[in-house]
């Protein structure tokens, strides 16, 4: 295994409401995050970052799945302003009933 790739069991995905973002952590270090704004009945995802050495390893997909599953479970409408989250939703249409796609302008 490549030493820059954490084992799946070593990853922790947690909400950090003080920073308005979900984080994927490995050994306590943040290796990816999805920023959000929370409004009554709605969550807007604004920006997602995956550390370059973690790209292509499924970390971003794990993060997207977790944040979207949480929003659906909480009954929140989802506004994907972030291109990464929007693209994930387009590849996983099961989320579409909870999504309000932004105006493409």
Is residue 105 scored above 70 in pLDDT? no
Domains and CATH numbers, the chain: 10-98 (3.40.630.30)
Q: What is the pLDDT of residues 49-84, one digit of tens each?
A: 999 999 999 999 999 999 999 999 999 999 999 999
Kindly give the pairing relationship between strand 77-80 and strand 21-26: unpaired
pTM for the structure as a whole: 0.87
- In this prediction, residue 3 carries a pLDDT of 45
- In this prediction, residue 84 carries a pLDDT of 96
Q: How confident is the model at residue 13 (pLDDT cuts 50, 70, 90)?
A: very high
Nearest Cα to Cα of residue 91 among 64, 55, 51: 64
Average pLDDT for the chain: 90
Token couple for 50: 């995956």
């Amino acid at each position: 295994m490549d030493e820059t790739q954490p084992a799946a069991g070593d990853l922790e995905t947690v909400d950090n409401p003080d920073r308005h973002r979900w984080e994927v952590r490995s050994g306590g270090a943040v290796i990816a995050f999805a920023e959000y704004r929370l409004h009554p009945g709605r969550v807007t995802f604004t920006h997602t970052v995956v550390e370059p050495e973690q790209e292509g390893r499924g970390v971003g997909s794990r993060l997207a799945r977790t944040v979207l599953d949480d929003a659906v479970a909480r009954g929140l409408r989802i506004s994907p302003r972030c291109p990464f989250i929007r693209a994930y939703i387009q590849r996983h249409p099961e989320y579409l009933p909870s999504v309000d796609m932004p105006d493409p302008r």
